Every structure is written in structure tokens, then in C-alpha cells.
Amino acid sequence: MKIALAGNPNSGKTTLFNAITGKTEYVGNWPGVTVEKREADLNRKYRKIFPEGRVVDLPGAYSIAPYTSEEAITSDFVVNEHPDVIINIVDASSLERSLYFTTQLLELGIPVVVALNKQDLVKRYGNEINIDGLSKALQCRIVPIIANEGVGLKELIKAAAEAAKEGKKQPAPEFEGKGTEDEKYARQKYVKELTNKYLKRNRDPSQITLSDKIDRIVAHPVAGLIIFAVVMWAVYAFSIEGLGGYLSEYFNETLFGEIIPEAANNFFESIGLHPLLHSLIVEGAIAGVGAVVGFLPLIMVLFFCLGLLEDSGYMARVAVVMDRYLKKIGLSGRSIIPMIVGSGCSVPGVMSTRTIEDVNEKRMTTMLTPYIPCGAKLPIIALFAAVFFPESSLVAPSMYLVAFIVIAIGGLFLRKIFGWKSTSVFIIELPEYKLPSVKHAFRHMIKHAKAFIIKASTIILVMNTFVWFTQAYGWNLQMVEDSSGSILASIGNVIAPLLIPLGFSKWQPAAAAFTGFVAKENVVSTLAITIAASSEEVLSLPGGVLTQFFTPVTAYAFLVFNLFTPPCFAAIGAMYTELVERKWLLRALAFQFSVGYLLAMLVTQIGTIILYGKLATGFVAACIILILYAIVIYYLIKRTSSGKIQFSTVTR
Amino acid sequence: MNMPLAKAKVGQRAIIKSISGNEKIRNFLFTLGCCEGEEITLISALGGNYIVNIKDSRYAIDKRMANAIELVEAG
């Protein structure tokens, strides 16, 4: 039996979905978080009431006639796949708007149960809804619920089970003017009458509230930008340098630096394990995975903080603040949503670009979203900040500032190169602020921690084994005395010369950057295996073994290189899905690679001159490359502005 | 007196007279309850962005859209 969850954006569908299935899908207190349909069985508690119930969570829609592509998913599903029952989640604090969609759902003939959500807000406003009356008028079951507190869910599932079992055709609402050309006006009138009849408003919604007063500061063009910068700095400083950093230090230096390797060494020696296997496990698996998992506390603290922020309703305001600035580079406030999601992981971030209708804006956002450092890039940032800049709480958060600057400049270039014009208009619903739920933030944290551990124990473990073997063996499949004769070193040495102008031309960093394309955490684990495992030190020690490979300037350049070249394979796959055409994927990758390379080169070359008063190696090569870049960009822009090639296809 | 939303006074309640722009956006606004004859209140004007109340909800819209919404005074 299929239960479809349908309703307006930000009405609480995914919150309800998670509550009745036990899943932990991404929820944010802002519209447009769900962009794909998701399915799961009811959890045990509710299966007793509704056996074989399978729930489909649909993206939010304001109407059956789709405006955005995720609205289309919703209407396609309810129209074509005939769920056995539709649970229509209605935001009771915005009843009139929600009922418009409800009346359309009632016309499909599929049994509908209305879940009247956000009863707490209704009470707070002092409003009253005559549920029995409305239920009779619409001829469907209505159950009042508070999804995020779990209130009324049993009754809701019971009602859905009854409706599905009866299997009676849902009677459509009758109103004057139905079937005529002006049906939508007639429907609106009908909905308005219903609302006036069954909703007693004891609050004038157009009154200025506390929430509005907060918005005037938080969404203000200048103050809002400063607040956003401070909030982001606080979150990342707290995660990387504060509590998260403190715990990670213990994990890295004590737990994975001493306790676990020593215990493993003693254990393997006592059972007389083959030295080769012993070395693979301790120097490959434990050193590599440990170097990544050591950053787990930091990831957890970050996602806890982001969870609190998301739940508060603040993120919708960030979109408003950023809208006017993003307009200048051809984007809009819509583009900030994928970027915020991308601060967790670029894959869902890139996927949520499908809420953007303007095709050029969507392409640009797809190319730029991976520049927001994701959770997997955090260990790289934290590692280099700890080793090279232990005194500064600014270096790690500065990567996010750099990311925004790169997005702005990169966006400008993309626009020039492809001759894009901004056509989009921006509108976003502003949910009322609420006290963020610690439970929600905690779930958010656990979900990401789990994903992180799973990734570390699968893909990263496999890569580590590969890295360990290739750095321990030569091409003749004999173990090498010195890893400089290994397979990995010879691969790294092929790439390394290309990195000379960037300031890190040894094979180890080259190999690390290379494995980073599989998953960004691999950068840390590869450095751990190739550099730290042979020394007795922990990789993340301030002023430790990494300083033999980087100066602070080239360390920063290496960070920039890893952050602003193309993301991992999974994110590249997501980009391909959203960009659709192969040629656009290739353009995106070329763009991202050029930006990362150029930026790292500039950091090294300019930084070395300013800070050390000398020319970095590869200065001449860097100058030549810079000139080539300038020529190519000039040519591309000229080609577009002369109108020979029309790249943009304006959708509307 | 007619004027675009972008020129309205903060806190002023008004009736929407017309909305210009393409069909798709107008239809979308319609589903929010933003269409001719409906009430709209400008809550705040923040540089290039406007916060409005339509029915029971708050929305932030940009200048282009605020200029496309033509108002008449309520009453």
C-alpha cells in the first residue's frame, strides 16, 4: 500500500516522513529542501496500525500545475502512479494557501487524508480551526498534528489506513465555476470562502511582529552580510579550532596516534602475524583511516551547529541577503540554497540546483556549488591549519571567505565567457523563526557522523590499502627499501612537474591530490600513509613532519588547490546529472580545474614574494601560464561578445 | 492611486491591481494567493529586497518582482 505525502513547501512533509518511517532525511526550516521523491516503509510502531504501509515523500508544491521541476515530480507521481492514499500535509498557519492545493488533490479520486500540521503555531496565534466543519465540507478525514513533536501521528496513520482500506473514490469538491475557463479564480474564491467559514483569525497577519523586526536587521543588505559572516566564522571556528578541534586533537594524537596503533602492534606481535600483513594493517589501514576518523569530532560539532542554524529559519534570510549580491554575478538568492546544502556535502548541494528554473543560472550554480568546502574537505583544512597555523583562528574560516570570493569572481568570468544574462526573479517564503530543536540538530549530527564513518570504513579504507601497496611496492612487485622507488612515487612523479609553479612538486602531495578525486578525505589519509607512517610523529602535530614538504605559503596553496579543483567523483557524477550534456560537464571540469590551478599558483608565487622576499621556484613557468590563461580568457570572452557563438538558451 | 509595490509605504495595506511579467511567474504567484484583487502588505523594504505579507505568510521578493506588482490603495 502506497502512502504519498504531498503539500506546500516547508509544510513539514519530510519531518513527518522521518517521524513515521524512522529515517533521517534532510530537513530544513526553509522551502525547497526535498528535490526528489523518497520511499520507505512505515516503522514498526506504525506498521501495526497500517500493515504494508510504504511512504513516499514528495517535494513541496503549491499547485498541481507545476512551476518548478520538483513540483513536476510531485504532480507526476500523484497523477500517474496512483498511490493508495494521499496524506496532504497542510500548514495550518497558512491555511488558505494550502487548501488551494488540497482542493486539487481531492479531484484525483484517490482517498485523501489531510494532516493539519503546525497546531502549535495555530495556538500561539490564538487562531481556531473548525476541523469537523472543514472535514465535512471537503469530505475527507482531517487529523490535527504537530509533526516535529510527534503529536497526532498515530491518529493520522490510523485515518490513512482506514481510507486506504475502504478504497472509496474520493469525492471532488464542488464549487461554482468549475470546469470553466476561469476555474482557477473560482477555485480561489471557493478556498477563500472555506477559510473564512472554518478559520477564526484572532491575529492580523499583516501586523509587524518580532520576527519582522529581527528580519529588518538580519536580512538588511549590509548588517545582514556582516551577521552572516560572523555566524559562519563562529560556527567554523568553534568546529575547527574550538570544541571540535580540541576533541580531534585528542583523537589524532592520543587515540589514533598512540593507543590504537600500540595496542594493535602488541596484539599482532603476540599472535605472530605476518609482518607484511601487520604493516599493512597498522601503517596502511589504521594510519590512513585513523587520520581521517580523527577528525570525526570536528565534523560532528560542525553538523550540530549547522543543524541548529537550519532549524531556526535563519537560512531563508541568508538567501535574501545574498540575493542582491548574487544578482550582480548573474545568480540569485535561489543559488544560495544549493551552496548551504553543499556545506555538508556537494552531492545533495548540486542536486538541489534543480530548484532553479533559469538554465544558465542553474549551470553556473552547479559549477560553483562544489566550491563551498564540504564536510569531506574539512579534515584537510583542519589538518593544515593545525600544522602550519596553530596560533590563528582565522586561517580555517578564511577558506570559506576565499570560497565566496572565488564564487563571485568565477561567476563573473563564467557570465562573460558564455554571455549569460540574468533573467530570474526571486521569491522565497520566510518561515517564522523558531527556537532550534536540539533533538533535530543531534539527529543531523548523528546522520552525518554515520555517513562519515561508513565512508571511512569502505571507500577510504580500500583506497588506503591501494595507496599502502603502491607506496610499499615497486613495479617489479618487490617491496622497496625506500618508498621513492615505489609505484605510487612513480605515478606521483608524473604529475609532480605540473605542480612546480604551485610550490609542491614532491610526489607525496601530488599523489594525495590525485587520490582526493576519489574522495577528499583521501588527501589526508594519503599524506598520513606516505609521510607520517615512516616517521614516528602524528601527521597533525603543529610544526610536524609536513613542514618538510610545505612552507606555510605553499601549504595554503595546497589547501586552495584541493578545495577549488574539481570535487570528488560522486559530486562530479551529480554535476553530470544536473548539467545533462557531456559538453557542459567537460566545460565545468575545465573551469574548475583552471580555477584551482590558477589560484594555488597565485598564492604560492605572490605569497612567496611578499612573505619571504624571494621568487618561488617555477616563477618563469608561472608567468608563462598566467599569460596563456589571459589569452584564452580574452579569446573566449571576445568570441562570445562578438556573438559568433550563442551559448545561452534562455528558457523563459 | 496606482503604484508599484516597490514604491509602497512600509506597513501599508493595499490591493493588487495587476501583475505584469510572464505567464509562468504570474501563475506561480497566483498559487501563493498573489493576484489581482488580493490584499498585500509591504512589511519591510531592505535595499533591493522587499518582505511582503500575502494571506497568512511572509515572502521575500526582489526588486524586479516588486516593480511588476501594481497596487491600488485598500478601502
**ipTM rounded to 2 decimals:** 0.94
Q: Which residues of B fall within a CB distance of 8 Å from A96?
A: 33, 55-56
pLDDT band at B16 (very low <50, low <70, confident <90, very high): very high
Q: Given an 8 Å threshold on Cβ–Cβ distance, is B21 in contact with A100?
A: no
Answer whether A119's CB lies under 8 Å from A151's CB: yes
Pairing of strands A2-7, A54-57: parallel
Pairing of strands A85-91, A112-117: parallel
Closest-CA distance, A172 to chain B, in angstroms, reads: 19
Question: What radius of gyration do chain B's Cα atoms show?
Answer: 11
Predicted pLDDT of residue A24 = 80
Predicted pLDDT of residue A535 = 66
Q: Render chain B in DSSP notation, one character per residue.
A: -EEEGGGSPTT-EEEEEEE-S-HHHHHHHHHHT-STT-EEEEEEEETTEEEEEETTEEEEEEHHHHHHEEEEE--
Closest-CA distance, B2 to chain A, in angstroms, reads: 21
Task: Going from the first residue of chain A to its last (652 residues), give the mean pLDDT of each consecutive group of 10, the final group possibly shorter.
Answer: 92 91 78 79 93 90 78 82 93 95 93 95 92 96 94 96 92 89 90 95 89 95 94 89 86 86 90 87 86 90 92 93 89 88 90 85 94 92 91 84 92 88 83 90 91 91 91 89 89 92 92 93 92 74 88 94 94 94 95 95 95 90 93 89 53 36
Closest-CA distance, A412 to chain B, in angstroms, reads: 20
Answer whether A134's CB lies under 8 Å from A149's CB: no
Answer whether B21's CB lies under 8 Å from A425's CB: yes
All three cell numbers of A350: 548540486
Q: Does B65 touch chain A (CB under 8 A)?
A: yes
Q: Given an 8 Å threshold on Cβ–Cβ distance, is A429 in contact with B59?
A: yes
Predicted pLDDT of residue A337 = 86
Predicted pLDDT of residue A649 = 43
First to last CA, chain B: 12
Cα(A482)–Cα(A158) distance, integer angstroms: 69
Q: Does B60 touch chain A (CB under 8 A)?
A: yes
Residue A366 half-sphere exposure, CB side, CA atoms within 13 Å? Answer: 29
Neighbour count for residue A26 (Cβ, 10 Å): 18
Among A205, A212, A425, the residue with its CB nearest the CB of B65 is A425
Cα(B15)–Cα(B18) distance, integer angstroms: 9
Please name the residue of chain B whose CA is at the shortest distance from the CA of residue A68: B28
Which of A373, A233, A239 minimizes the C-alpha distance to A225? Answer: A233
Three-state DSSP class for residue A85 = strand
Q: Which residues of A fall within a CB distance of 8 Å from B30?
A: 184, 188
Q: Does B55 touch chain A (CB under 8 A)?
A: yes
Q: Which of A103, A320, A332, A423 to mutate to test the interface with B (most CBs of B within 10 A)?
A: A320
Q: Which residues contact A396 (CB under 8 A, 6 or more apart)?
A: A236, A237, A240, A241, A381, A382, A385
All three cell numbers of A123: 495556538
Q: Does B19 touch chain A (CB under 8 A)?
A: no
Three-state DSSP class for residue A647 = coil
Amino acid at A425: V
Residue A512 half-sphere exposure, CB side, CA atoms within 13 Å? Answer: 28
- Domain of B16 in residue numbering reads as 2-73
Which of A133, A178, A176, A140 minimizes the C-alpha distance to A160? Answer: A140
Neighbour count for residue A381 (Cβ, 10 Å): 23
Number of domains in chain B: 1
φ/ψ of residue A117, rounded to 5: -90, 170
CA A470 to chain centre: 33
Map out the domains of chain A with their CATH numbers. Answer: 2-200 (3.40.50.300), 225-641 (no CATH)
**CATH number of the domain where residue B57 is located:** 2.30.30.90
Predicted pLDDT of residue A250 = 87
